[in-house]
Amino acid sequence: MFSESDRRGIPAVFCESTVSDEAQKEVANATGAKFGGVFYVDSLSPSDGPASTYLKLLEYNVNTLIKGLQGN
């Protein structure tokens, strides 16, 4: 049987770094979609984090999107 996310073609749910990811994880759980990860949108990570510059932010978000949609 197909889950709701399969019928609607929604493979993954993502979250923004400045908010809690708990709601998105629950949506993913309830629909059968995968939780794809966290995007940095409105802010950078700390200097030792994955998105410490704008270019690193872009690279991190693209990699997170690809991995999330592939189910990794």
Q: Which CATH number fits the domain that encloses residue 14?
A: 3.40.50.1980
The phi, psi pair for 55, rounded to 5°, reads -65, -40
Record the pTM.
Answer: 0.80
- Confirm if 11 and 5 have CB atoms less than 8 A apart: yes
The pLDDT value given to residue 52: 97
Counting the structural domains of the chain, the total is 1
Which runs of consecutive H residues, i.e. helices, occur in the chain? 4-8, 22-31, 54-70
- Confirm if 30 and 20 have CB atoms less than 8 A apart: no
Range of the structural domain that residue 25 is part of: 4-70
Give the residues of the chain that fall short of pLDDT 70.
Answer: 1-8, 71-72
The pLDDT value given to residue 9: 77
